[in-house]
Amino acid sequence: MSIGIDGTRNGWVMADYRDDAWQLEIVSDLTDIDHDMAVIDIPIGLPENGIRACDRAARTTLAPERHYSVFSCPVRPAVYAGSYKQACDINEQRTGNRISKQAWNICPKIKEADKYDGKMNLIESHPEVLFHSVDQEAVKHSKMTEKGRNQRKSILAEFGSIDDLEDRMASMECSLDDCLDAMILAVAADRRTMPLSTADISGEETGQIHVFSERR
């Protein structure tokens, strides 16, 4: 089973995409997931120093409208820091940049994925890069806006029915944007496509962002 996983406030949104349909579920821990391979929107492979090449490449791909949706993965010591201030100080010393509050808030999720890296078949990806790879126009507007959400839903509708998405989202107490992200990650997992060439989206030993190589 190949699935897509996106972090949310109360755990992880798991999307299983098979036979042109999605099964959606909230799980509290990555070990609760039964899968062969998972495409996950969380950094896999933490840098010790500097900014990962794959983060820079993803921002280049999404520029000029959506590049700010990709944050640079904090260095490992910053992820495991005891406070936000300490994390900022460490990251600034090693990269020249402090980390955002958003990045700090997902550090527990980063640590959980890091804990299971090598023990579970987790592949890093980025939903905005995936939506962009299907249709560059799909990510011109933020997913926090109605227009942006409708654009992303239109993309997903090409792969399967999403007529009952709002009902399923409400029953899981999950935000729509988290569901949309998990669903496009699941499509990527199901398609098993290759990443773009290393000249476009590339990674050091610490990680690589995978995207569609062609539209199906």
Q: Using CA atoms of 122, 128, 134, 136 in order, give the dihedral in degrees to the nearest 10.
A: -160
Please report whether residue 201 resides in a domain.
no
Please report whether residue 204 resides in a domain.
no
| Structure confidence at residue 197 (pLDDT) | 38
How many CA atoms does the CB half-sphere of 70 hold within 13 Å?
A: 28
Please report whether residue 215 resides in a domain.
no
Handedness of CA 32, 33, 36, 37 (dihedral sign): negative
Please report whether residue 55 resides in a domain.
yes
**pTM of the complete model:** 0.86
Question: pLDDT (tens digit, 0 to 9) for every residue of the chain, 216 residues total?
Answer: 679 999 988 899 999 998 888 999 999 999 888 777 888 999 888 889 998 888 888 888 888 877 778 888 999 999 999 999 999 999 999 999 999 998 999 999 999 999 988 778 888 888 998 888 888 887 888 888 899 999 999 999 999 999 888 888 777 778 888 999 999 999 988 876 545 433 334 443 334 455 543 333
| Structure confidence at residue 208 (pLDDT) | 47
Q: What is the residue range of 56's domain?
A: 2-191
Counted domains in the chain: 1
Please report whether residue 198 resides in a domain.
no
